[in-house]
Structure formats: C-alpha cells, structure tokens
Structure 1
C-alpha cells in the first residue's frame, strides 16, 4: 500500500516535475513529507503563496511541463489566486494542490474552511475536492490532463485526513499528451488569399501563437512585402534577425507601428489575441488566423477568419499568394522604425543630458539629471548573455524592456502580459532559476512591484537561486503616473517612500549595489551580471521620463500639458 500523498508526488515526478512551490502547513503535511522523501522533486518554500503560483507558472511557460504549487487550508489557498489567474491568462499548465479541513468537517464552517471549488471556479478549468481515497488516481489524471489540454489551471483540494489515506500501491496514473495540429479550412484560405492579393499594402500583426513557424512567417512577410508588428510575447523567437519586424504597438510601442497600421489596405493577424482594440486600425479589411475559434473577431471586426494551426495556415497561404512587387510600404515602415530606434539610442548615451539637445530636453523631463531608464535597459541588453531568461514587472519596466532589449540567441521572456499584475518579475525569475541554476536569469523589477513581495529575496537566498534583480527605482508607480497625466490629471498617490533597496537586500544577506550617477552605471551592470548567486542592483532612475505612446492625439497631448500645469499648482501650493 501507499498513500494518496505519495501517489500524487510519485506521479508528478514521473511527469517530469522537478520543483514544487508553496508554504508548508497542516492539511498538506503528508504531501510535503512525501516530497521530502522523493529525490526527484525539490521543495521550494516561498514567503508568500502568490509567489509560489507565479514561479510555477513561469516554469510551465518555459518548459511546457506542468508547474505545481501548493497552499494549505483557507488563507494559504486564497493567496495562490493572483498567480493562478496569471497562469490562466498566460495559458500555462499549472496544478495547484490546496489543503482543506478534515472531510468530516466539510460544510460545518470549521476554522479556516473555505469552499475551494467555489473560490477557484473562474480561474480553474478543473477543480475537485477529494473526499475518498478511492477517487484516486482518477481525479489526479483528470486534473493534469485538463491542465495540459486547455492549457490552464487545475485545482486539487485535499482535506486534512485524505493525504495520508491508503491506496493500492500498484494503481497506475495514466496521463497522455497527444499533440494536435488543427488544419485550416480550405475555403477560408481561398478567401484570405483573394483579400490579401487584392490589397495594395498589407501589415502583419504576429503573436506568440506563431512563434513556432518563424521561417514560414518570414517568407510570408517577404511575399507580401509586409511590415511585421510583433506583440510583446512574440519578441521571443521572432525579433532577432527579422528584417520585417517593426517593434510593438500599444502603450509600449512606437510611431512606426501606428503608421504601418494606418496606411495598410489589409491587416493580417496571426496567432495573437492582442487585447487592445483601440490600437488596431479602424475599418481596415482584416484576416485573422488563430487556433482558438473564440479569438476570431474578438478584438476587431474580421473579414476572413481562419481557425487552424499557425504553421499549417501560413504554409497554405504561401502555396497560393502572389508576390507584391511594390515594397514601398515595407521600406517606409522599416525606415520609420530605424529612425525611432536611433532617437531612443541617443537617450542611452551617458553624456546625453550634457549635450545641447539633452540640456533642452532635460529641463522638461530630467531636471535632476538622474539615470535614464533607457540607459539601464540598454546596458543590461548589451552585457547579458544570449541565453538569458528575462522577466519583467508590469508597468514602465516592461516599456523599457520592450524598447531596449532584443530577444536574441536563445533568450526567453516571461511577464504578466495578459493579467498585468504587479510583483510578478521576482517570483517568475525564481521559477526560471530553479529550472537551471547555471542559466542567467534577469528580472526587470519596478520598485513598487519588488517591494510588494520583498520577502521573496529570502527565498532566493535560502534556495540558492542566482537571480539578478535590476530595480528601476524611480520612487513612483510609473505607469499609473503616465495614465493620470495622459488623462489630464495631476499625479496623485503614485509616490513611493522607498528605502535604500540595496541596503535592505544586503541586510538580508544578498549581494547588492545602489547606483545614482550615470557614469557609474555600466560598471555596476557588468558587476551584477557577473556575480555568483543572487544580486540586487538598485538603480535610481529618472521619474519624469516621458514614454509617450505611439499614437498621442491632440486630446492626450493636451492632457499631459494640463496635468503638468495642475502638478505645478499643487506643488507651489504645498510650499506656501
């Protein structure tokens, strides 16, 4: 005989799970004890269950193997929610094992009792409370199978008396993963070919769902003479060496993408559920390719919807499309993009603010001559290895990564790109580092995000996770500040009374440094990236940096002007 807990842990090890994340406690003690005795699985105890869920989700996204996290009865399980929602929206296969009160007490409003099946109804594709050992291993098979099939989240709840209950030792867990490639409809391919051939100019919007067909995509862009706008998640695998890509759209984008959208006679969307319809072209004939039928037309009206595997669909188009001889549309978009990149690059030069243009601009957006965040991001890009895993907090950290870091070589990128949570970069970096402690992992941390889960620095130290934490310390919730000013509101409630974050990290026992002067930045970045073990680099950056979106209308520009005027009035009033 064996126990329910031992059966679960053995099955997870057989599936290739190598780490389980969470906080130990009561109902899950049989499971953590089984992990203690299972040589193939490492238990990583976090300081907060939310971090455990983020770390497990990051591992699932990087490997395709199910990530596993745990939270015990009541509050422990509830703390998993935010990280699990991120896993759901990132389509990451994650299994959450949650504790529950003893089965005899279910429904009796027992101490710490929470109805997990109800709480996790929206986030989990599968959720089940095991009420008898005889339900095993069938419910475990269902939980894992459904997490892979969605892919998404499954929640398995174990009452306190179930984990140690006996089951037959020879009961086998059967979990089958069968790859499926959905073939597109031939009639829709024909309609798409007709629309694209008839259009004089085409712009492509490509997402993470098309990353596995890179060569076919490049051939398609060449055939259509089409500039390729990449979603942030598509930077990985599709940015480096791509002579057709022109960066991102949305708040993190650039003017070239706006122009490419607005001047296109047709839009071709492939493998993306880009969530911001206001940034897509209006009334442009559109073809959308996606493996999920419910994504077709969800963000913008679609003339032709192709439900199918991106690679198979692109290959089918290539067999029929005529080539476009006029490449003016592509060449103009690429020229605009390169001009914008050159302007951005000038901001990264250490002496920029001392030149004539810099002195004029700095009076507006860097009056204290602090380190520009573009300079920090560019130096990390320059000196980080080509196999680095990057994670990034939501907000301005993501803006600087999107604009200044290239996903070259075998670099990977993880972030909360669909949920948009704060505090994700640090725990996701921990998850990545635990997969391979010899692979570089760099987290782009906002000061607000880092301090929200600051205790996880201790997790990095306790488990020897050599993450490099680059903190954009601008003393602000920077993206909120931008949103307020864009709407004509004065900045309010965004200020952060930060301590010396490097000193805090050092007090915990972590290697750390603080940088306040531009001339010291490059040496500090090189030192941080080369250091063995975890390292925190606290860089005091310019809080006034202007990161204008690529489509700033008159109303938005006026909003910025009014906001600055109101801020000045408030500031003067405060001093009087």
Structure 2
C-alpha cells in the first residue's frame, strides 16, 4: 500500500521535479516525510513561504517543467500568494501543495482554517481539496495537467489526516504529454504576407514567445529589412549578435526603439503581450502573432491576427515574402540606437565624474560622489559568465541591467516583469541556483527588495546555494522616487534607513563586501564572482541618478523641475 502523501511525492519525482520549496508544519508532515524518504526531490526549507513560491516559479520559467512549493495550514498557505501571482502572470507552471485542518473540522472556523479553494480561485487555473484517498491519483493528475497545459498555477490542498491515508488505487499517476507547437492557419498567414509585401517600413516588436525562434525571427527581420524592438523578457534569446535589434521601448527603453515604432507603416508583434498601451505607435497597420488568442488585440488595435506559435508560423510566412527591400528604415533606427548606446557607455565609465562634463553634472545629481549604478551593471556585464543567470528586483535595478547587461552566450534573465513585485530577485536566484549549483547566478537586488525578504539570505548558506547578491544600495525606493518627481511631487516616504547591509549579511554567514569607491568596484565585482559560495556586494550607489524614458513629455519635464525645486527649498 502507498499513502496519499507518498503517491504525490513519488509521482512528482517521476515528473522530473527536483526541488520542493516551503516551510514545514502540521498538515504537511506526511508529505515532507515522504520527501525525506525520496532520493530524487530535495526539500529546501525557506524562512518565508513567499520566497518558496518565487523560487518555484523561477525554476518553472527556466526549465519549462513543473515548479513545486508548499505552505501549511492557513497563514503558511496565505504567504504563498504573492509569489504564485508572479508565476501566474509569468505563465510559469507551478504546483502549490497546501495543508488544511483535519477534514472533520473543515467549515467549523477551526484554528488557522482558511478556505483555500476560495483563497486561490483567482490566482490558480486549478484549486481543489483532497477529502478522500479515493480521489487519488485523479486530482493530482488534473492539477499537474492544468498547470502544464495552461502554463499557470495549480493548488492542491491536502488536509493533515488525508495525507497519511492509504490509497487503494495505487496505480502510478499518468500526466499528459505537452502539446506540439502549431502554425497559424494558412489563410491568416497569407493575409499577413500580402500586407507585408506591400509595406514600405516594417518594425518588429518581439517578445518572449519568440525566444525559441531566434533563427526564424532574424531571417524575417533580414527579409523585411526591419528594425527589431526587443522586450525585456526577450533579451535572453534575441539580443546577442543581432544586427536588427534596437533595444527596448517603454519606460526602461531608448529613443531609437520608440522612433522605430513611430516611423513604421506596419507593426508586427511576435509572441509579445507588451502591456503599456501608451508606448504603442498610433494609426499603424498591426499584425499580431501569438499562440494565446486572448492576447490578440488587448493592447493595441490589430488588423491581422495570427493565432499560433512563432517558430512554425514565421517559417510559413517566410515562404510567402518577397525580398529586395530598402534598408533605409533599418539603417536609420540602428544608427540612432548606436548613438544612444555611445552616450550611455560614457555614463558607465568609472572616470565619468572626473571629466569636465561629469564634474558639472555631478554637482547637481551626485554631490556625494557615490557610485553611479550604470557602472555596476556594466561591470557585471564585463565579468559575468557567458551562461550566467541574472535576476533583477523590480525598479531601478531592472533599468540598469536592461541597458548595460547584454544577454550574450547562454545567459538567462528573470524578474517580476509582469506582476512587478518587490523582493523577487533574491528568491528567484535561490530557485535558479538550486537547479545547478555550478552555474553562475547573479541577483541584482534593490536595497528595499532585499530587506523585505532578508531572512531568506540565510537559505543560501543553509543549502549551499552560491548565489552572488549585488545590492544597489541607494537608500531609496528608487523607482517610486522617480515617479513622484516626474509627477511634480517632492520625494516622500522613499528613504530607507538601512543598516550596513554587508555587515548584516556577514552575520548571516554570507561573505560580504561594502563598496563605496567607483575605482574599486570593478575588482570587487570580479572577486565576488570568482569566490566560492554565496557572496554579497553592498554597493553604495547614487540615489539621484535619473533614468529618462525615451520620450519625455513637457508635463513630465515640468513636474520634475517643480519637484526638485521643492525638495531643494525644503532641505535649505
């Protein structure tokens, strides 16, 4: 005979799950004990269940396989929610196994009782409670199949008394195979080809749905002589050695990308659900290719829909496209992009503030001569391994990485780019590192994000996860500060009274260095990346560094001026 708990754990190990993340406790005891006796799944006990969900979601995104996290009765399960919402919005298949009060007490407002099926109803594609052993393995199969098919979150709640019950139907669970990628229908492809063959200036907006179609997308850009605007989540597959890409658009983007979109006659969206409507060009013919029909047209009006996967659809599209295009539109965009990059690279020079222009600039925006965050990102790009995995906290850490770290080689990139949560970089890095303790993993943390889930810094030590944590310590919630000032408001509530983060990390068992001198940063980054075990760099950066969006409206410029004037007067 096998128990409910044993059947769940054995089935997950057969499904190639290698890690389970969570906090042990009461109702989970039968399941965690089954993990203890299973040689294939490693249990990693975190200090906060939110970190468990972020870590499981990171593993799912990196592998395409099921990530698993656990929370016990009531609060333990509630704590999973934020990380699970990130998995939902990132289309990451995650199974959350949650504890519940004993079945006779369900519905009695028992101690710690929470109605999990209701609690998780918005975040999950499947949420059900096992109330009898006879429901197994059917509910487990449904949960895993739903998570994989819909690339989302499934929640299976197991009361403490149910986990230890014997399963009479002890057959091994059978999970459905993955669906094969499929091209859009011929009639849709032909209609799109007709439009593209007549178009003069075409710009591609390419997202993560095209990351596995690099060769086909590059051939399409060549055939159409199109500049390629690459979303942040598509950097890792499409940025390197790409003679057509012009970076990102949106708040973290650059003027060349924005202009490439505005100058197009036809916009082609490939595997992207880029959410910011204000950054789409106006009055263009739009072709959108996506395998999720619900994505079509929800950001911008679409005249020609292609419902299918990018790689097979673009292959069919290429068969119908004529060549011999003018390169004028592409060359203009690439020239503008190169000019912007040259200017940005000057900011990433450690000696920038020693130049005449740098000294003048620093009087206004860096009077304390702190390290400019551009330098930090540039040093990481220079010294990181060609297959490093980067995670970034939401906010300014993401801005600097997007601009100065190129996804060369086999580098990967993770962040909370759809949910926009704080505190994601550190637990996502833990998840990534647990997949391969020999691969370099770098967490680009904001000081606010790291402090929010600081306890799980110790998890890296406990389980031998050699993550390199690079903290942009500007004593601020930087993105909020910028938002306030662009809106004409003086900075308020964003200052962080941080301890010496390096000393705190040292006390937690992490090798740590505090960096305050731009001239010592490069050596500090190289040494940290070459050191065994988890390492934290506490880099004291300039809190007044301004990241201008590609297009600054007069209202934003005026608002920023008013805000800075108010801040100056109030500080005088």
TM-score normalised over the length of structure 1: 0.98
- Unmatched tracts of structure 2, length 5 or more: none
Counterparts in 2 of 1:487-506, with a 5 A limit?
487-506=487-506
CA contact (8 A) 1:117 1:128 kept: yes
1:328 counterpart residue number: 328
How far apart, CA to CA, are the structure 1 residues paired with 2:473 and 2:420?
19
The alpha-carbon deviation at position 378 of structure 1 amounts to: 0.4
CA–CA distance in structure 1, aligned partners of residues 526 and 181 of structure 2: 44
SS of 1:483's partner is helix
Aligned length: 572
Q: Is it true that 1:230 corresponds to 2:249 in the alignment?
A: no
Partner Cα separation in structure 2 for residue 14 and residue 250 of structure 1: 42
Partner of 2:550: 550
Structure 1 residue 178 displacement after superposition: 2.9
1:353 matches 2:353: yes
- In structure 2, the partner of 1:92 is 92
Q: Segments of 4+ in structure 1 off by > 4 A?
A: none
Preserved CA contact (<8 Å) 1:6 1:34: yes
- 1:24-48 deviation per Cα after TM superposition (whole angstroms, max 9, x unaligned): 0000000000101101111000000
Task: Map Cα deviations across residues 421-460 of structure 1 (whole Å, 9 max, x no partner).
Answer: 0000000000011011000000000000000000011111
| Structure 1 residue aligned with 2:413 | 413
- In structure 2, the partner of 1:276 is 276
The answer to whether residue 481 in structure 2 is matched with residue 481 in structure 1 is yes
Conservation of the 8 A alpha-carbon contact between 2:134 and 2:169:
no
Contact 2:21–2:43 under 8 Å retained in 1: yes
Deviation at 1:182, TM superposition (A): 2.7
1:508 Cα offset (Å)? 1.1
How far apart in 1 are the matches of 2:537 and 2:56? 25
**Alignment partner, residue 158 of structure 1:** 158
Distance 1:143 1:519 in 2: 53
Alpha-carbon distance between aligned partners in 1 of 2:387 and 2:301, rounded to the nearest angstrom:
39
After the TM superposition, which residues 279-358 of structure 1 pair with which residues of structure 2 at under 5 Å, given as runs? 279-358=279-358
Secondary structure of 1:86's partner? helix
Kindly report which structure 2 residues correspond to 1:382-393, keeping only aligned pairs within 5 A, or say none.
382-393=382-393
Q: Give yes or no for contact 2:370–2:516 (8 Å, CA) kept in 1.
A: yes
Q: What's the CA shift string for 1:48-88, capped at 9, x where partnerless?
A: 00000000010111111100000000000000000000000
Q: Does 1:176 align with 2:176?
A: yes
1:557-568 to 2 correspondences below 5 Å: 557-568=557-568
Deviation readout 1:502-560 (Å, 9 max, x if unpaired): 00000111100000011110111011101100000000000010100001111111111
2:371 is aligned with 1:371: yes
Structure 1, unaligned runs of 5 or more? none
Task: For residues 147-185 of structure 1, give each alpha carbon's deviation from its aligned partner in whole angstroms, at most 9, with x where no partner exists.
Answer: 000011000001110010111374221112233223312
Separation in 2, partners of 1:217, 1:76: 44
Structure 2 residue aligned with 1:249:
249
Cα distance in 2 for partners of 1:190, 1:166 equals: 57
- Secondary structure in 2 matching 1:316: helix
Contact 2:182 2:313 in 1 (8 A): no
SS at match of 2:217: helix
RMSD: 0.9
Distance 2:246 2:532 in 1: 36
CA distance in 2, matches of 1:364, 1:205: 37
Q: Distance in 2 between matches of 1:105 and 1:27?
A: 13
What residue in structure 2 maps to residue 81 of structure 1? 81
Instruction: Report the Cα offset of residue 324 of structure 1.
Output: 4.6
- Aligned partner of 1:5 in structure 2 is 5
Map of 2:457 onto structure 1: 457
1:241-299 Cα distance to aligned partner (Å, 9 max, x none): 00100101111100101111111111110000001011110111111110011111100
Alpha-carbon separation, structure 2, partners of 1:15 and 1:321:
42
**Equivalent position SS for 1:442:** strand
Q: Is the 8 A contact 1:55 1:429 kept in 2?
A: yes
Q: CA deviation at 1:360?
A: 1.6
Alpha-carbon separation, structure 1, partners of 2:118 and 2:553: 45
Contact residue 128 and residue 156 of structure 2 kept, 8 A: yes
Residue equivalent to 1:185: 185
CA distance in structure 1 between the partners assigned to 2:178 and 2:60 by the alignment: 17
Quote the Cα distance in structure 2 between the aligned partners of 1:8 and 1:488: 55
SS at structure 1 position matched to 2:97: strand
Report how far residue 194 of structure 1 moved: 2.0
What TM-score does the superposition give when structure 2 sets the normalisation length? 0.99
Contact 1:148 1:177 in 2 (8 A): no
After TM superposition, give the deviation of residue 200 of structure 1 in Å.
1.2
Report the alpha carbon displacement of residue 122 of structure 1 after superposing the two structures with TM: 0.3
Q: Distance in 1 between matches of 2:500 and 2:397?
A: 19
Q: Does 1:511 align with 2:511?
A: yes
Q: d(CA) in 1 for partners of 2:194 and 2:364? A: 50
